[in-house]
Amino acid sequence: MSTLLVETRRARPADAADITDIHDAAWRVAYRGLIPGAELEKMIQRRGPVWWETALKRGSRVVVLTLGDTVAGYANLGRNRARGLPYEGEIYELYLRPEYQGLGFGRRLFGDARKELAASGFEGLAVWALAGNEPALGFYRAMGGTGVARSSETFGGRMLEKLAFGWNG
């Protein structure tokens, strides 16, 4: 009988290709039909391995969830960018490879990303999600997030509503 070790750790530049693959697959599942196709492709292509490797070398805070030797997900996090919200931290992105979604790994990654923010001295956190991304909205509600703000962003000429969720402490 073998046991598979599940853990989270800070991402390293060597993880860039895995993070790229996760980003590509997860975005295609999450945003197909929401973000216009050509715009979605451009957004995905901009975030290749060189982009991620450079971001990691420059100090971007990214944690990865690993199952044995497989990088199954990542969370990109840091200081809250929405000055009007009363939360110091923000999870900018949290994505899993589609085959690992719905199995509890997102909860683990979210919890560990939240701990990483707290250990870095950030009080509370915010997360933004597109209003049309029902799986993400359901996930953040299940994680105890409270809807705290609305905004919009234009993608390929289409205006999409975004919702912010907040967590204290």
Whether 123 maps to a domain, the answer reads yes
Q: 134-161 pLDDT, tens per residue? A: 999 999 999 999 999 999 999 999 999 9
Whether 22 maps to a domain, the answer reads yes
Cα–Cα distance measured from residue 65 to residue 72, given in angstroms and rounded to the nearest whole number: 6
Domain span at 48 = 6-167
Cα–Cα distance measured from residue 105 to residue 102, given in angstroms and rounded to the nearest whole number: 7
Element (H, E) at 134: helix 134-142
Whether 131 maps to a domain, the answer reads yes
Q: 92-128 pLDDT, tens per residue? A: 999 999 999 999 999 999 999 999 999 999 999 999 9
Query: What is the identity of the amino acid at 100?
Result: Y
Q: Is the pLDDT of residue 1 over 70?
A: no
Whether 88 maps to a domain, the answer reads yes
* Beta-bridge mates of residue 70: 67
Question: Which CATH number covers residue 68?
Answer: 3.40.630.30
Question: Cα 44–99–36 angle (5° rounding)?
Answer: 30
Whether 1 maps to a domain, the answer reads no
Q: 7-54 pLDDT, tens per residue? A: 999 999 999 999 999 999 999 999 999 999 999 999 999 999 999 999
pLDDT at res. 4: 80
Whether 155 maps to a domain, the answer reads yes
Average pLDDT over residues 86-95: 98
- Whether the full predicted model's pTM is greater than 0.75, yes or no, is yes
Whether 109 maps to a domain, the answer reads yes
Average pLDDT over residues 52-74: 97
Sign, Cα dihedral of 96, 93, 65, 20: positive
Contacts of 65 (CB under 8 A, 6+ apart): 6, 7, 8, 71, 72, 73, 74, 96, 105, 108, 109, 112
Q: Which of 23, 9, 27, 5 is nearest to 130 (CA)?
A: 27
Q: Is the pLDDT of residue 2 over 70?
A: no
Q: Total structural domains in the chain?
A: 1
Residue 149 burial (10 A CB sphere; 0-12, 13-18, 19+): middle
